[in-house]
Structure 1
Amino acid sequence: MALSLPPIAETIHFVGSVCLPSTRSVYHRICTSLGTHIRRLPDGEPGKRSDFILWQRDVFKSHPSLLRASVSAPSRATDINLNIENFKLGPLEYDTHAISSYRIFCTLRDEGIILPGVRFQVCLPTPINILCNLIEQAYRPHVEPLYESALLDVIAKIQDNIPAHDLAIQFDCPSEFAFLEGVASVPVDWFAPIKEGLIERVVRIASAVHDSVELGFHLCYGDFDHKHFVEPTDTAIMVDFANSIKSSLSRHINWIHMPVPKGRTDALYFAPLEHLDLGETELYLGLLHAEDEEGTRGSIQAANTYVPEFGVATECGLGRADSTEFEDVLSLIQKLLSGACGCSDQQ
């Protein structure tokens, strides 16, 4: 018998970036392929945004001494030489890209390509990702409040220009998990304890999202060169992080996305999910792997033992995939939705 997917899996979550040349092509390809199975639609983060946060270096171009040589470079030993009162960030541009993409979204909805009820999804990295990947260690405590304030302004502008009933905001959290897993290449040395400080910062930013705007979190383990910065042993750290955010945040969380490494079809990986405090929150598991139908259906079966309803997604964005991989993922989704992958529904 074909595997009966959890009910929510009839909708597919796209994490953010997509390896297509334009926002219009992203919307058209996803919607013509999946139609009614999409609840939220990101713009694909084309162009300079395809490499996650690296394009944010431009925010600091007037102050190059703040910047690390590269994401992997060790921090320099440097004296602080920064007049905070006169320091000005460049534009973050997340708001301008979102507003521009929303116009395309509305046009394609008017043309019938995007169906009514689908929300426009904006994906934003939390400030810790910019600070710890781009900024020299000595400057991070001083830059943090400035960047956080600028991101709050961006969120406000997005919400001022896009109707709440059309909008969904997702926060991307890879650096948080590098620190929680103890594998970050740079230390957090301006706040402690680390976990509590990370939660506090995520909650502070997420609290700026209006109650009528949908809110989600991408709990990320990285995807540079299609590799994680560490392979998660199981979902325990993600479950704890998600539960901590939920208990600290005064508003509803609409969805949480968690990655599933390729080949994890074992109960060990998914067992902590039974402790996830979901309530009405949607869970999306990133278990869609190109050219791996067998592993995908094995992961679905294993997860279904511990959580009765979940949607499916890729582990991370698809901006660094090639067109063959992207099309293979779409084909895999179609097979899952049609029950054509030959999965057994016996537990």
Structure 2
Amino acid sequence: MASNSVRGVHLVGSVCLPSTEEVFRQVTSHLPNRLRRIPDGETQHRQAFTFFQQGAFSAAPEVLKKYDASFNVAPSEPVSAEQLAAVVEKLRGEDVMRTRYDTHAIESYATFCQLRDEGVIPAGVRFQVSLPCPVDVVVLVAEPYQAALEPLYEAALVRDLKKIEASIPAHDLAIQWDVASPFAMMEGVVWPHFAPYVADANQHIKDMAVRLGSAVSPGVELGFHFCYGDIGHRHFVEPKDLGRIVDVAADIFARIDRPINWIHVSAPKDRTDEAYFAPLQRLPLGATELYLGVVQPRDEEGTRRRIAAAAKVLQNRGFGVATECGMGRTPPEDFVPTMEVAAAVAAPIS
């Protein structure tokens, strides 16, 4: 039986299924009347979060970090001012750096519409596009180039956001900004990817999030996914509590002059204590939907313990549930058990 405080399920983005159509069919079947939005699952080459974004730098491949078989990063070679300027020039221009998020979204939306016409996807459910914050991509770039290339990548990302908005009606579209690697930088986790390349990582990331949220057009839904990553099913660092996430979210709420329709926050599997969720008390949610990443496959009991701890903190404030992060790197055999737990603990939204 679902908790009285829990209504609805959120899908963060990636799903461990082979195709967009399979994602749409499977999640609507397993989560009836529990989804306000559905992503395309970021299937196939997109399942490893932002790694496919290395292609955005194809005009200057020398800027990318070099990894060995153990995922260690080779030391960066020194770069002269002239070399840096030459790379920036190669990657400048609207037709050079392409994220392809627009291409994938527009193709997947056609499938979304077809399945909605067939009655597979309920009317009123929005098509969700999850986009990374620039830091989550620039961590793939070698350190000497990061600060110079971040603004170029952000501009490319916003250009492709606008192409998505031009191709998908606002009443059908929901944009989620994913914020993961920034929390590693703010926590001071450097190896293997996250050495800060700005003087004040906290302020830099807050300002970035405000710009990204403000770039989403009126009428398009806006959400944020905040987490501590998933490398080998481990976080960059185990957070003490949700304090740092709440600080970033509260800053966004204060400075974005448009509705924020939802936020998703991660919850480690072993945190069933109220202390982890306590910072949520100071988040001015208002009408914003809150989704907690408490769902774990084959662990309905533990999921309910995490829900109970959060419910005590949030008191009469309802919330929905989700997995900690995207499911792109989840073993396929865990997909159905994950959906079963989510459906068991969350009531329908209507």
Q: TM-score, normalised by structure 1?
A: 0.92
- For 2:343 and 2:135, the matched residues in 1 are separated by 36
- For 1:233 and 1:269, the matched residues in 2 are separated by 7
Alignment of structure 1 residues 123-162 onto 2, 5 Å: 123-132=130-139, 134-162=140-168
Contact 1:75-1:137 within 8 A present in 2 as well: no
Contact 2:20-2:42 within 8 A present in 1 as well: yes
> What is residue 77 of structure 1 aligned with on the other side?
77
Cα gap change, 1:315 to 1:109, in 2 (>3 Å): same
Residue 121 in structure 1 maps to residue 128 in structure 2: yes
Give a deviation string over 1:149-175, Cα, whole Å, max 9, x none.
Answer: 111100100000000000000011111
305, 309, 317: which one aligns with 2:312:
305
Instruction: Provide the identity percentage.
Output: 45
Alignment of structure 1 residues 336-347 onto 2, 5 Å: 336-337=345-346
- Aligned pair count reads 334
Give a deviation string over 1:166-206, Cα, whole Å, max 9, x none.
Answer: 000001111111012111333223x3322111111111122
Give a deviation string over 1:115-166, Cα, whole Å, max 9, x none.
Answer: 000000000001111112x111111122112111111100100000000000
Contact 1:129-1:173 within 8 A present in 2 as well: yes
> What is residue 19 of structure 1 aligned with on the other side?
16
> What is residue 104 of structure 1 aligned with on the other side?
111
Alignment of structure 1 residues 1-347 onto 2, 5 Å: 4-6=3-5, 9-70=6-67, 72-73=72-73, 75-80=75-80, 81-82=83-84, 83=86, 84-88=88-92, 89-132=96-139, 134-185=140-191, 186-189=194-197, 191-307=198-314, 308-337=317-346
SS at the partner of 2:32?
helix
SS at the partner of 2:38?
strand
* Structure 1 residue 85: Cα displacement: 3.1
Contact 2:59-2:90 within 8 A present in 1 as well: no
* Structure 1 residue 3: Cα displacement: 5.8
Contact 1:98-1:122 within 8 A present in 2 as well: yes
* Structure 1 residue 74: Cα displacement: 5.0
Cα gap change, 1:4 to 1:90, in 2 (>3 Å): closer
- State the superposition RMSD in angstroms: 1.6
* Structure 1 residue 47: Cα displacement: 1.0
- For 1:187 and 1:226, the matched residues in 2 are separated by 21
SS at the partner of 1:51?
coil
Which runs of 5 or more structure 1 residues have no equivalent in the other structure? 340-347
